[in-house]
Amino acid sequence: MAPATPATAPAARPRVRGKFLFVGDEKLYIRGVTYGAFAPDAQGNEYHDLATVDRDFAQMAAAGINAVRIPHTMPPRALLDVAQRHGLRVMVGLSAEQYVGYLIDRRGAPDVEALVAAKVRDCAGHPGLLCYALGNEIAAPMARWLGPERVQSYLERLYRVVKREDPEGLVTYVNYPTTEYLVLPFLDLLSFNVYLESQDRLKLYLARLQNIAGDR
């Protein structure tokens, strides 16, 4: 029988104050990386090798990283335990983009709200959580086909599900420039994937994102 893992001391959860994240009274400046996706095991578990996760997270922490994004899946709670031991906070993905097509055709549609609620319950309240990402880059053609109002309503509905299961958890949606027109004022913080290889263009677009974000 494996020895019990020592309990990790509880830590304060991040909060939003204006345009900044805080832990307690201290600003939290994110220095993050994406971790995954990886080939799943026979049971479909993507993050099944916790020894490798522990090694990777230790190296990240040593390099000054303090946050990890799990992009398209909900990791096991044990991964959050490992992250917390190394002082990392985790953005977990709820994969809303994978179900958005059912807004067009409900035949065979799963109960998306129940799926999201179950995922959130798996890690609700964990001090290693940075935030929940409702989804990642709903495709621009799909957003145009549905219309922004339906996409916005869909994401807000899932936001309410997350808050019901984990009221103190922060919630975002990872947007990108092609659908920057989506109006999502209910989110706790804004997240964008931005791929600009020119430093000057990136600087200009970051200034634009500050305007889009408003007071957030």
Q: How far is 23 from 37, CA to CA, in rounded Å?
A: 28
pLDDT tens column, 134-182: 999 999 999 999 999 999 999 999 999 999 999 999 999 999 999 999 9
Domain ranges of the chain: 15-213
Read off the pLDDT band of 91 (50, 70, 90).
Answer: very high
Read off the pLDDT band of 36 (50, 70, 90).
Answer: confident
pLDDT tens column, 47-77: 888 899 999 999 999 999 999 999 888 888 9
pLDDT at 4 over 70: no
Task: Check if the beta carbon of residue 101 is closer than 8 Å to that of residue 141.
Answer: no
Task: Check if the beta carbon of residue 134 is closer than 8 Å to that of residue 158.
Answer: yes
Give residue 2's pLDDT. Answer: 39
Class at the top of the CATH hierarchy for domain 15-213: alpha beta
pLDDT at 3 over 50: no
- Write phi, then psi, for 93 (nearest 5 degrees): -100, 140
Give residue 212's pLDDT. Answer: 87
As a residue count, the chain comes to 216
Q: How far is 199 from 115, CA to CA, in rounded Å?
A: 40
pLDDT tens column, 183-201: 999 999 999 999 878 888 8
